[in-house]
Amino acid sequence: MSFQSYLDNIETKTGLTPRQFIELARERGFDSSTKATPIVAWLKEDYGLGHGHAMALVHVITKGDRISAKHVGTGGTHSDASDRLWLDGQATNPAA
C-alpha cells in the first residue's frame, strides 16, 4: 500500500483529512519535536487506528507532506506517484 493510500484509508475510516489531523495534533500541542509514542497513543485511543496507519499520520504531523524519493515511481507495492502527499482529502485530490 502506498503512503498516500494509508492516508486515504485513514480518511475513509475516520472522516477526517490528514490536514484536519495535523490541526487537531497542533491543538494538543504536538509538533515536529514530538516523539511518535504520544501521537500514536492518541490516534489509537481516540480514533481506533492501527499502528501502521497511526505512524503514517505521525509522519505528516511531524515532517509534513514530503516523503523520500526512494518510494516514488518504483512500480512496487509501496510506490507513490509523487514525493508530495495530498493532505486535503481524497475528493479534492487532482491526481485521483
Q: How far apart are CA 41 and CA 48, in angstroms?
A: 10
The torsion region of residue 10 among left (phi > 0), alpha (psi -120 to 50) and beta comes to alpha
- Cell representation of residue 45: 485511543
- pTM of this structure: 0.90
Residue 3 has pLDDT above 90, yes or no: no
Residue 72 has pLDDT above 90, yes or no: no
Q: How do residues 15-57 score in pLDDT, each as one tens digit?
A: 999 999 999 999 999 999 999 999 999 999 999 999 999 999 9
Residue 87 has pLDDT above 90, yes or no: yes
- Cell representation of residue 7: 492516508
Residue 77 has pLDDT above 80, yes or no: no
